[in-house]
């Protein structure tokens, strides 16, 4: 089944690929690798702001990470055109806006990791880092960058 068919079957709609917010490009392809710049947590209603460990639940953080994942896939589609060219989700690096005592960053970033496996199957399994940050751009809850291998 094609990736587009998988998205449709699962009722997943990709957002428009977000424009860069500063002096950088949204993705760079070198050889068969596509590096997608960090995508911040946002949805149709705007930015998803908050701080894990200070009023934001792990579940809300995971939902914010999933939204980052949707933006990552949208950027990837803008980069390569056809998502069926994806051979592997190589690595995710997730940043979680959290308090110093919050330790569930991996559970938050699972929101994105689970999406990658849901969309790309076994090719969606990846290496990963999930780290805390005392603040993220614009006060968002999560930011995630990715590396993809394409044909």
Q: How confident is the model at residue 65 (pLDDT cuts 50, 70, 90)?
A: very high
What local confidence, expressed as pLDDT, does residue 21 receive?
Answer: 84
Where would I find the beta strands (DSSP E) of the chain?
Answer: 27-30, 33-40, 42-43, 46-47, 86-97, 127-133, 142-150
Q: What is the pTM of this model?
A: 0.97
CB atoms within 10 A of CB 100: 8
Per residue in 83-92, pLDDT (tens digit) is 999 999 999 9
Per residue in 24-48, pLDDT (tens digit) is 999 999 999 999 999 999 998 899 9
What local confidence, expressed as pLDDT, does residue 33 receive?
Answer: 98
What interhelical angle do 58-80 and 105-120 show, nearest 10?
40
Pick 44 or 103 by higher pLDDT: 103
In angstroms, the CA 143 to CA 41 distance is 6
Task: Decide if pLDDT at 104 tops 90.
Answer: yes
What local confidence, expressed as pLDDT, does residue 87 receive?
Answer: 98
- Domains along the chain? 3-150 (3.30.1330.40)
Task: Decide if pLDDT at 1 tops 90.
Answer: no
Pick 1 or 5 by higher pLDDT: 5
Per residue in 119-145, pLDDT (tens digit) is 999 999 999 999 999 999 999 999 999
Give the percent of the chain with pLDDT over 70: 100
Q: What is the mean pLDDT of the chain?
A: 97
């Amino acid at each position: 089944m094609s990736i587009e068919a998988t998205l449709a079957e699962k009722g997943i709609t990709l957002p428009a690929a977000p424009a860069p917010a500063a002096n950088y490009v949204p993705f760079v392809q070198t050889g068969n690798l596509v590096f997608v710049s960090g995508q911040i947590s946002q949805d149709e209603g705007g930015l998803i702001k908050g701080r894990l460990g200070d009023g934001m639940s792990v579940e809300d953080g995971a939902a914010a990470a999933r939204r980052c994942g949707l933006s990552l896939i949208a950027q990837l589609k803008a980069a390569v055109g056809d998502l069926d060219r994806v051979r592997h989700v190589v690595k995710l690096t997730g940043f979680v806006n959290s308090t110093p005592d919050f330790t569930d960053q991996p559970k938050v970033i699972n929101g994105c990791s689970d999406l990658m496996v849901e969309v790309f199957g076994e090719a969606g399994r990846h290496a990963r880092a999930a780290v805390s940050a005392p603040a993220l751009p614009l006060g968002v809850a999560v930011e995630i960058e990715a590396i993809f291998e394409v044909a």
